[in-house]
Amino acid sequence: MLLAGALTAAVAAGAGVLVAAVREGGTPAPRSLDRAVPSVTAPTTRAPARSAQPAPVAAGTLRAAPATRSAAPSPTTASRERRTAPAPTSRAAAGATRTGTATFYTLADLPNCGYPDAAASGTYVALSPADFAGSAACGSVFDVTGPKGTVRVTVADQCPECEPGHLDLAAPAFARIADPVAGIVPITFTRVVDPPTPGPVRVRVKEGSSRYWLALLPIDTGNPLASVSVQGMALARTGYGYWVAAAGAGPGPYQVRLTDDRGHAATVTVPLSVGATVSTGTRLY
């Protein structure tokens, strides 16, 4: 009787546990599984699919420019011709015709040759350093021919940035051979030998001159000068047009001997009139 009661109580307790498990939504695992939980491999996570991307470009690789990029403006005619100017020609003898290019400028101060009235003339020209030759070309006269005609000019200045054969003309002179809008034009030019001169030779006595230091600037010689001497003493040519006696030549007046590169020569009298331009009344030819 007692055994039957105990059995009935055990069955009832088991049924209660089962009902509780069902209510909680699962079946209890066997006790053997509580002691030996198998290892679980984590599921592989897949990245979401990406849209296709262009392959990366290695550093330093040039990318093709977009087809819609606007073209760079073409250079002006003047700037283009400055870069493609004809190759320099060798220096020619007097009277020979050379080819080259011409530009223009306005003289704002004394030119390298020192001529005080060059700016007012409107017919001056600046030469390249090679053609200027340290002022040896000062006073040379050229006939320059461009698209519109020919003009006669006198060398009075140096153009530091010019190449041999490139003439930088006074603006009024350039306008007589070409349209100033062009900026730079092809030319031919010829040195004029023994050109007519505007008058007798003039000589300027530089400021600072004295019996102990003397600087003279001959003007309107027609041809460039080859030598200048005072009382038989040779003067040194400078890069700014003047001829200098570094130790002076006494109190003056001076007997100045002028010789041009064509062999013409004359002796003129020049007083020590500091800062003055003296007319000699004499021509070289």
Q: How many CB atoms lie within 10 A of CB 114?
A: 20
Please report the pLDDT score of residue 57 as a whole number. Answer: 36
Tell me the average confidence (pLDDT) per consecutive run of 10 residues in the chain, 285 residues long. Answer: 43 42 41 38 41 39 33 31 33 76 96 97 97 98 98 98 98 98 98 97 98 98 98 97 98 98 98 98 98
DSSP code of 246? T
Whole-prediction pTM: 0.68
Please report the pLDDT score of residue 265 as a whole number. Answer: 98
DSSP code of 264? -
Please report the pLDDT score of residue 95 as a whole number. Answer: 75
The residue type found at 106 is: T
Q: How many residues does the chain have?
A: 285
173 Cβ contact list (under 8 Å, min separation 6):
104, 122, 123, 124, 125, 144, 151, 153
Please report the pLDDT score of residue 52 as a whole number. Answer: 43
- Quote the CA–CA distance of 59 and 70 in Å, as a whole number: 26
- Terminal C-alpha separation, the chain: 170
Q: Is the Cα torsion angle 158, 108, 191, 267 positive or negative in sign?
A: negative
- Report the SS3 class of residue 249: coil
